[in-house]
Structure 1
């Protein structure tokens, strides 16, 4: 097959260097899935679906993870009481919120998804 015209700039080496690239997002998602068994075999528990926002839990004996997805082109907010426990951001699809504490309200940017887990001291 012929090389794409942008092969010199759009390649694995350049994607590895870009912190928020789709390649690095997939690597982070795979690593998180290996670390959290509830993402692999946990039960699916719907929490809320309103407008462009979908919120659900993955629960197993190993723990709980909450996934919040904003499919919209505008920012959205979710009450942390809907989530059910104090959390921190384990991963954002925009790759820039890891470790952020969620108390009161979870603000989601346009087209952003986050995976939340309990604070390390919970």
Structure 2
């Protein structure tokens, strides 16, 4: 799926985003648009420069080790997604305790990968 380029001029300030963040547990059934999804992926780990070498998340030695050091980076990435969801007017939550194998089966995650966080999001119900 080709996602749209991120919008760098959001409508909500960082201060307002931080002040108003809440974990949301009830969502509307409306799907999230590809624009919102693309913005979430950019906030999680997207490039901040046109050459793609500078990223929005922490990195070690310019290696961008998300796959190798996911236990360390998952919290950073999750926080970015949580903040971006709020800035876009979406509710979100962070779930760290779940049945790993069930999630792997439902989402068809390859066995070489392991889910660390689940982040439900959508329009607040």
TM-score by length of structure 2 reads 0.30
Q: Quick one: higher RCO (CA 8 Å, sep 6+), 1 or 2? A: 2
Greater CA radius of gyration, 1 or 2? 1
Richer in helix (by share):
2
